[in-house]
Structure 1
Amino acid sequence: MLKTEQNIVYMVQEFDRKLRSITIASCAPAPLWLLSPNISFYYPDNIISFSICEIDQVIKHIETGQIDIGILPFEYQKDDLCTTHFFTEHLSVCIPFGHSLCSYDKLTFHDLNGYNRLLWDQLGFWTDLCKRKMPASKFLIQTDESEFLELVKSSTLFCFSTNYASYPDEILNDRKRIPIVDDCANVEYWVVWKKGNTYRF
């Protein structure tokens, strides 16, 4: 009887903890930039945790209930899941003025293949996509954001931006931002959660 009572207490505490916490995993950083202030505003009494994961990890975690909300770069449908369209992110490349590619108003990954570039390491699935689409390019990956921005400002290496990525004004003064027109460079994000959580969100 005591063991049963302890188990019941644990289950109630665990249920209460889950109600007071929200875990969110995204395949890329931009969805978190948009979602985190809204979640924090509407759920001020909750402990909210965010993470950037590989796409297959986001799917696994949402299906097993390890996270409350997942964000994917495509619509993912299953009987026990709810999905809703979030927003569209468009990838661009930032090229120093004077480079021959600055004469273009749009580019493809094929055009950019072979040119070396800077990457910040917190890009989620974008990192793998860029490496796959530009196998002849070398990538200088930075883990520190301030060092990454300093290299963007002081070097001639290409870097990426999107319609939701914000750089300080002076960082891109000497660069032209050119959209990449491949379909895979224009991503539709979808928010996914368990139907059992619909009453919470």
Structure 2
Amino acid sequence: MFELNQLEQLLAIEKYKTLSNAAEHLNISQPALSRSIQRLEEELEVTLFKRQKNRLTFNEDGISALEYARRIMELSNEMKDSLITASKARRTISIGSIAPAPIWTLTPEVSKLHPEMSIQSEIETHDKLEKGLKDDTYQIIITNDPAADNDTVVIDYCEEDLYVTLPPAHPLAGRDSLYLADLNGQSILQYSKVGFWLDICKAKMPDSMFIMQDEFDTLNELRRTSALPAFATNITGSTPSSEHRVMVPLLDDEVNVIFYLKYKKANRKMFKDISPLT
């Protein structure tokens, strides 16, 4: 029976137009490619080419063979990808969250409960997390919405409250509490990978400029040296870079959040020993 690499060779001849170009792309000699194609024709019991001096073109059977070759290669790639994905899924626990801080505490706990598994996590929107839980993209998600169907377990996990950190000389640093609207119009130092928090802050502070930073080290250095406001939470806490700053709680309901863990009842055994932080 013919081999998959012979179908790859057939498709390469179509793509690169000549045996010599196809052989160069496939990193084999032209005579070796020619012999391989001849063996393919013998296996199929048909001739695939019109052979003329210094020219090779597909005949009617060759064109049909190309169509089958494409379908077979697509199926073989699909098979490989599907098997790899299934194998990885059996060895991987995927965590999705609308915010980063709960992942920082949940990931090591899940890893401790299941040391034989790989743990991967990512931040996504609420809708994508809910869809991903249903289609098994995620085995467990963290969201601020407790609603769930009868097939899903929901538990209170933790509460996270947003603060603004201000230099002592800032006009608002003496306040006992603030609303995001009080900061509207000011430039804000902002970590970029905060999930849903950023959407809320931008909605509440439409006139502010958010100076986005992708790296914590850079953000912390700016906190240390800059007079601009920045955000922290009760989970992230005070950092060395903000030790000379004042942390003022924010009173907006949207930024004082209870996070919930959700997972399928079928995975109850996997996650039942997780300890809530609340």
Query: Is TM-score (shorter-chain normalized) higher than 0.5?
Result: yes
More strand by share: 1
Partner SS state of residue 40, structure 1: helix
Structure 2 distance, partners of 1:117, 1:152, is: 10
Q: Give 2:243's aligned residue.
A: 173
- Matched letter for residue 23 of structure 1: S
* Structure 2 contact 184–208 (Cα < 8 Å) conserved: yes
Structure 1 distance, partners of 2:82, 2:183, is: 54
Aligned pairs (5 A) from 1:52-91: 52-91=123-162
Q: Deviations over 1:147-193 (max 9, x none)?
A: 11111111111100000014532x11321100001111100000011
Structure 1 distance, partners of 2:83, 2:200, is: 43
Report how far residue 199 of structure 1 moved.
2.8
* Structure 1 contact 76–192 (Cα < 8 Å) conserved: no
* Structure 1 contact 109–180 (Cα < 8 Å) conserved: yes
Q: CA RMSD in A?
A: 1.9
Structure 2 distance, partners of 1:119, 1:161, is: 10
Q: Give 1:141's aligned residue.
A: 212
Structure 2 distance, partners of 1:159, 1:82, is: 35
1:185 corresponds to 2:248: no
Partner SS state of residue 103, structure 1: coil
- Matched letter for residue 260 of structure 2: W
Q: Deviations over 1:87-144 (max 9, x none)?
A: 1001000011111101201001121111110110110100111001111111001112
Structure 1 distance, partners of 2:135, 2:91, is: 19
- Structure 1 unaligned spans of 5+: 1-9
Structure with higher Rg: it is 2
- Superposition misfits of 4+ residues, deviation over 2 angstroms: 10-20, 166-169
Q: Deviations over 1:44-70 (max 9, x none)?
A: 110111111122211111122111001
* Structure 2 contact 98–143 (Cα < 8 Å) conserved: yes
* Structure 1 contact 89–163 (Cα < 8 Å) conserved: yes
* Structure 1 contact 68–194 (Cα < 8 Å) conserved: yes
Structure 2 distance, partners of 1:166, 1:14, is: 38
Q: Deviations over 1:25-79 (max 9, x none)?
A: 1110111111011111111110111111122211111122111001101212112
* Structure 2 contact 170–227 (Cα < 8 Å) conserved: no
* Structure 1 contact 69–193 (Cα < 8 Å) conserved: yes
Aligned pairs (5 A) from 1:30-45: 30-45=101-116
- Matched letter for residue 256 of structure 2: N
Report how far residue 16 of structure 1 moved.
6.1
1:126 corresponds to 2:197: yes
- Structure 2 unaligned spans of 5+: 1-80, 272-278
Structure 2 distance, partners of 1:14, 1:33, is: 25
Structure 2 distance, partners of 1:101, 1:79, is: 47
Q: Single out whichever of 73-82 and 31-40 deviates more from structure 2.
A: 73-82
* Structure 2 contact 142–262 (Cα < 8 Å) conserved: yes
More helix by share: 2
Q: Give 2:175's aligned residue.
A: 104
Change (3 A) 1:186 1:11: same
Q: Which has the higher contact order (CA 8 A, sep 6+)?
A: 1
1:49 corresponds to 2:113: no
Change (3 A) 1:198 1:136: same
